[in-house]
Structure 1
Amino acid sequence: MRFLHTADWHLGRIFYGVHLTDDQAYVLDELVRLVKDTEPDVVLIAGDVYDRAVPPIEAVKLLDDVLTRLVMECGVQVILVAGNHDSPERLGFAGRLLVTRGLHIVGKPRNDAQPLVIYDQWGPVYFCPIPYAEPPVIQERFGMQEVGNHEQAMKAVVSQMVSRLPRGARSVAVAHAFVAGAEASESERPLAVGTAGTVSRECFLTFNYTALGHLHRPQSAGGDSIRYSGSLLKYSFAEASHRKSVSLVELDGEGNVTLEEIPLSPRRDVRCLEGYLADLLKGPHGGGSCHDYLMITLNDEGAILDAMGRLREVYPNLLHVDRPHLVPRAENIRPSTDHRKMTVLDLFSSFFEQVTSRPLAQEESKAFARVVEDWGRKERETE
């Protein structure tokens, strides 16, 4: 059984005010060509296909086009699960009708869900779709009021799926989750405040392979058998060093996995440059294109008239200029920590301490976490 694992397309993403739909269409054309070349039996899309619950029309049209080409032109089956950015109801519209054409979309976890069975030369392989599962959803749909965090929610869904697998069957999970110990990036939306949103790798040890979505860096979360394919494109400058790819996986008759990372080539790369204005105005260096999406750190001290405008004459897709050496001498004007790298809880705790002159208490921190999680859930349901 050969399958292609991808995730975190985030169609409709806006990056520093730039709509990335054309860039996403470019790399998805490459994905379709890759499917035609490698001829997988299945394409797995492990969540966050959209960037927000109500995506722009252009993003919906792009997804419709890509899925149509994969299913109709390439003749490959597609299994797609909802992520925390997706609206499960909207994404899962007409899902039961689409199954007949080989497109399997799973929005919300169900207590009556069955594995999808696809055959190869050695027999059946059981694919277990596990969309993003919030604890309150599992409490309601599974009647399990004792579920209080993401770990318990994931174990409940996995246990239900595993109970429907024949003994010794080859199985593949397609899940959207944050596995503890894996490396996060700036561009991911936290599943919960603090560490309550993580799940352990032990949740997935039953499966021969687990195709994960949510984290944007391609990485292992437990050997080659539990893996994040990473996002379709770089969605923050912190990801400038990442090499985006999809995972081509082969499962033999004994359930052993072999994996190949196939890199993706974007229309424009996301890069960070550093130097003095006069040197940078001479043109790109280091092998990159002047048309990439850039963040430039200037080492010049003192004022510069219209640095952004002057640099954009050479680098038209420059998105941000950082001036770390242009720092006021007065104390306490700049925060000691870059706010872009702080969590929601860190930001609120810092604000709270500045206003009240005392640190946030543990109970207050828990109350804030509950409010943020409730707000996020309502946003996905009503946005």
Structure 2
Amino acid sequence: MRFLHTSDWHLGRIFHGVHLTEDQAYLLDQFLALVRDSKPQAIVIAGDVYDRAVPPTEAVELLNEVLSRLILDYRIPVIVIAGNHDSPERLGFGNKLLARQGLHVFGPLTGKASNVILEDEYGPVYFVPLTYAEPSVVRERLQEPEALDHEHALNIMVRHALQQIPEAQRKVAIAHAFISGGSVSESERPLSVGGSGAVSAEIFKPFNYTALGHLHNSQKVGSDVIRYPGSLFKYSFSEANQIKGINLVELNSQGQAHIESIAMSPRRDVRILEGYFRQILEGADSFGNRDDYLQIVLKDTDPILDPIGQLRAVFPNVLALERPYITNASNLLGLDADHRKLTEKELFASFFEQMTGQALNTDQENELVKVLDEVFRDAREVSA
């Protein structure tokens, strides 16, 4: 059985005010090309298809386009589960009708395990969809009062699913969960508030392969066959050095898995640049694609006039600016004197020099004096 494992598309994501739909569509075009070239027998999407419960229209249209191509053009079965960002009810709408076309969508947890059985030349492979569900939902839907946390809830869901599978059959779990020991990112929403959302990799021991979603870094956890493929795109600057991709999995007749991680190439990368302001501006061509989404960390200690505006003139997608090395406010004047004892002229002259790197010339000083005189005169007239 040859299948592709992907997750965490987060369609409709907004990143520092930027709508990422075009970037996501660019990557999904690559995904469709990979499907065409690799000719899998199934596709698994392990949750967080959308970024929020009520996705924007363009996100729904993009998903519709991709799934239509997979089902109608390529005629490949697709198995999708809900993640913690998705609305299970909305995602699972019409799932019984869609399943007849080969699109198996598992939204809300139901009271009965429902596995997807696909055949290859060696016989059946059981795909076990463990759609994301809060422990309270598992307690209610499966009538299991001991489902008090995510660990117990997922264990119960696995037990219910395995009861429907004959012994010694090949099995693939599909789950959206935080496995203990996994590498986390800033953009992942916690699965539990006030308690632990982590679960043990031991839960998935009965499976030949476990297709995970939730953590955005491509990684294996607990075993070579328990895998996160990584999110579709880098959704925070903490993910700048992560590799995103798709897992191509092949199960042989004995259920042994061969896994290949295939990296994706975004139209715009998410990167962090660090250096001095002038060095970055003057050496822009040496810093890679100027259109990438950038966080710039400036090493300068002195104030700079409108640094993000100047940087965006060269790098249009600077989304964040950090100044960790800037001199603290008490030293901005460059003087040992108490700023409260300085005149307005001295304060402005010091500010001007810090911003421009040059002292006020005679004409500028004269103009400053005129302005200050006008300000003080207006103030006196108002107070009188």
TM range (shorter): 0.7 to 0.9
Which residue pairs with 1:17 in the alignment?
Answer: 17
Which residue pairs with 2:122 in the alignment?
Answer: 122
Q: Deviation at 1:325?
A: 1.4
Which residue pairs with 1:222 in the alignment?
Answer: 222
Which residue pairs with 1:148 in the alignment?
Answer: 148
Which residue pairs with 2:322 in the alignment?
Answer: 322
Which residue pairs with 2:90 in the alignment?
Answer: 90
User: 2:253 & 2:176 partners in 1: Cα distance?
Assistant: 26
TM superposition outliers: structure 1 runs of 4+ over 4 Å: none
User: 1:135 & 1:155 partners in 2: Cα distance?
Assistant: 11
Question: Do the aligned residues in 2 keep the contact of 1:299 with 1:324 (CA within 8 Å)?
Answer: yes
Which residue pairs with 1:378 in the alignment?
Answer: none
Aligned sequence identity (%): 54
Please show how residues 310-349 of structure 1 align to structure 2 within 5 Å. Answer: 310-328=310-328
CA gap of 1:246–1:100, structure 2 versus 1, over 3 A, is same
Q: Deviation at 1:243?
A: 1.3
User: 2:195 & 2:179 partners in 1: Cα distance?
Assistant: 11
Q: Deviation at 1:84?
A: 0.1
SS at match of 2:161: helix
Question: Do the aligned residues in 2 keep the contact of 1:283 with 1:290 (CA within 8 Å)?
Answer: no
Which residue pairs with 2:272 in the alignment?
Answer: 272
The one-letter amino acid paired with 2:129 is P
Question: Do the aligned residues in 1 keep the contact of 2:113 with 2:164 (CA within 8 Å)?
Answer: no
Which residue pairs with 2:255 in the alignment?
Answer: 255
Which residue pairs with 1:40 in the alignment?
Answer: 40
The TM-score normalised by the length of structure 2 is 0.84
Which residue pairs with 2:366 in the alignment?
Answer: none
Q: Deviations over 1:54-85 (max 9, x none)?
A: 00001000000010011111111100000000
User: 1:293 & 1:147 partners in 2: Cα distance?
Assistant: 42
Question: Do the aligned residues in 2 keep the contact of 1:170 with 1:255 (CA within 8 Å)?
Answer: yes
Which residue pairs with 1:198 in the alignment?
Answer: 198
Q: Deviation at 1:134?
A: 0.6
Q: What is the RMSD computed on CA atoms of the aligned residues? A: 1.2
Question: Do the aligned residues in 1 keep the contact of 2:220 with 2:228 (CA within 8 Å)?
Answer: yes
Question: Do the aligned residues in 2 keep the contact of 1:183 with 1:217 (CA within 8 Å)?
Answer: yes
Question: Do the aligned residues in 2 keep the contact of 1:10 with 1:51 (CA within 8 Å)?
Answer: yes
Question: Do the aligned residues in 2 keep the contact of 1:111 with 1:160 (CA within 8 Å)?
Answer: no
List runs of 5+ in structure 1 lacking aligned partners.
331-383
Which residue pairs with 1:294 in the alignment?
Answer: 294
The TM-score normalised by the length of structure 1 is 0.84
Q: Deviations over 1:21-72 (max 9, x none)?
A: 0000000000000000000000100000000000000100000001001111
SS at match of 1:230: coil
The one-letter amino acid paired with 1:108 is P
Equivalent pairs, count? 330
Which residue pairs with 1:26 in the alignment?
Answer: 26
Q: Deviation at 1:224?
A: 2.1
User: 1:162 & 1:314 partners in 2: Cα distance?
Assistant: 57
User: 2:249 & 2:194 partners in 1: Cα distance?
Assistant: 33
Q: Deviations over 1:130-149 (max 9, x none)?
A: 11121010011011222110
User: 1:127 & 1:170 partners in 2: Cα distance?
Assistant: 9
List runs of 5+ in structure 2 lacking aligned partners.
331-384
Q: Deviation at 1:262?
A: 0.4
The one-letter amino acid paired with 1:148 is L
User: 1:58 & 1:327 partners in 2: Cα distance?
Assistant: 45
| Larger Rg, first or second structure (1 or 2) | 2
SS at match of 1:281: helix
Q: Deviation at 1:287?
A: 5.6
